[in-house]
Amino acid sequence: MLDKEEAQDRGEEFWYGGKVTRRRLVGWSAASAGVLGATMLVPAPWRAAFGQAKPYRIGTLQPLSGAAAAGGKTALVGTQMAVDRINKSGGINGRPVELIVADYESKPDVGRRKAEKLVVEDKIDVHEGGFLSNVCLACMPVFEEYKIVNMIGVCLDTTITTSKCSRYTFRPFDYAPAQAVAFTPFLVGKMGKKWHIAYADYAWGQSTRDAYAEEIKKAGGQVVGTTGIPLGTADMTPFLSKITGDFDGLFGIFFGKDGVTVGNQAFDLGLTRRYKWAGDGAIAESTNLPALGRKIEGFVGINRYIPVLDAPLNTAAHKKFFEEAVARLKQIDPSGPLPDRYVQSNFEAMNALKMGMEKSGFRGREDTAKLIEALEGLEMKEGDDFPQGDKTLRKDDHQAFLREFIFDIKDGKHRIVEVVPKEKAMFAPACKFAST
């Protein structure tokens, strides 16, 4: 991360306005840390504009080391892109944003400790971030206890906005039931009636499995079997080799390195040639494609975001987001990965938080109730803040609904097959907030 002397050496181009909680990010080179630290820098012309304005302290928990580090690092890029843009455009309510980053090492117990440090020692005003669902679930009670708004950036576990919902937690992107509602008509109607589901055996994978099993049955299809594989399993062949029988398609629910592993090993075993191959879009994120090569060809998935500039993503706002994300990702990964849904959702989560803070006149923790009220029912319109498209943050459960993209992989690239409008991805609320 750049310090004051380095900023001065660069001709006063930037001034320092924040910090990283650990002062160094585990697993990153010094150069990468410098790039990531850019969020904590505000263009010099705004220094006078902000004057002595007290910064908003926004915490972000991300897995920058451990099993989910690859996704956590791209997620952080999205958060930092938004904070940079906010500060360059005058901050929020005339105040700059100071981003405080905490690495929870991909572990729930570490995540909870880091969340407590953010709220007690670092005295954050709000939180945006989170990646692994089991860590999000472990940290939610901390934000509720201290009455701090928690804007989730990635976590997809269904229970976050259903049975374990909290007044203080918001998810400004999709979740498994909405994806299942949007994707199942295509799966059963165009690919096959009988499915076997292989999934990452932890909170997100389990809840996503259940959502698809329910929707496939409703659509007249059948789930003939399921196979859970522990998170981080390097050799999945003992599990995958047991998947046999008479069915039409194999549906995968994996992400990150596990997505690469299942894609390669299922291909090597002949599963993805014997059966139709579909699943959660996280298997075929742009960051996974180089490691999957030709073995992911023909995969059909669903995702809230795919890195293409074809209609309806051929807008000026998306092109601007896309080009900046590509440049930033290349600085931390010379292979030049395209932006994934983790960059997109964290970028938009921070912008949703900004909208709520401006709408409520938020000053700090004492205005948490006002911020919650402003965020409930928030309408986010497609544009520079929300390049993915329009979305609604439902009041009943703090769950957002947005359009979904069904895609396949053709010649190593994403290709939009069908666009499902947000109205067709709606799922009834199943949340009852605890009395406060």
pLDDT tens, position by position, 197-243: 999 999 899 999 999 999 999 999 999 999 999 999 999 999 999 99
Q: Which fold has domain 54-174+315-402?
A: Rossmann fold (3.40.50)
User: Does the pLDDT at position 31 exceed 80?
Assistant: no
Q: Which two tokens stand for residue 98?
A: 């100071």
Which of residues 40 and 188 earns the better pLDDT score?
188
C-beta separation of 98 from 19 below 8 A: yes
**Interatomic CA distance for residues 257 and 412, integer angstroms:** 18
The first and second tokens of residue 235, run together, are: 């050799």
Q: Which CATH number fits domain 177-303: 3.40.50.10860, 3.60.40.10, 3.40.190.10, 3.40.50.2300?
A: 3.40.50.2300
Distance in angstroms (rounded) separating the CA atoms of residues 122 and 134: 23
Q: Which of 413, 411, 227 is nearest to 310 (CA)?
A: 413
Phi, psi dihedrals of residue 42, rounded to the nearest 5°? -120, 135
* Distance from chain centroid for Cα 203: 15
Cβ contacts of residue 274 below 8 Å, gap of 6+? none
What pLDDT digit, counting tens, does each position of 251-268 carry?
A: 999 998 999 999 999 999
Q: Report residue 436's pLDDT band, with 50, 70 and 90 as the boundaries.
A: low
pLDDT at 6 over 60: no
